[in-house]
Amino acid sequence: MDIWEIINFTLDVCLVGASIWMVSIVRGIGGIVGRTLNIITIGAVVLGIAHITETVLAFTLGASLPPEVGEFIHRVLVFTGFVMIVMGFRQIRELN
């Protein structure tokens, strides 16, 4: 494992940690605002998972898995996370 892999993995863990932190802050807020923030937070969690998944797949299955498959899984998860965030913002827009 070289220095860049260590740095990337550390940043991935920080991203997941930040998304879990978001969950702990948003938890307990009720009503439509709370539901909206929960959707946005779920999107952030999925984005964090997408990054760590790409790193873990490359590290553990790098030799047996074509790199394109790991990149595809990463992009599908990132897309899903962004869709969740957009859905949350769309609910905020409907509040007006």
The tens digit of pLDDT for each residue in 7-53 reads 988 988 898 889 889 888 888 888 888 888 899 999 999 988 888 88
In tens, the pLDDT along 51-90 reads: 888 778 777 776 677 878 878 888 999 999 999 999 999 9
- Model-level pTM greater than 0.75? yes
5 band by pLDDT with thresholds 50, 70 and 90: confident
- Runs of H (alpha helix) within 1-96: 3-26, 31-61, 67-95
d(CA 18, CA 32): 23
What is the residue extent of each domain of the chain? 3-95
Which pLDDT does position 23 carry in this prediction? 86
- Enumerate residues 6+ apart whose C-beta is below 8 A from 18: 44, 48
| Cα–Cα nearest to 80, from 35, 42, 33, 26 | 42
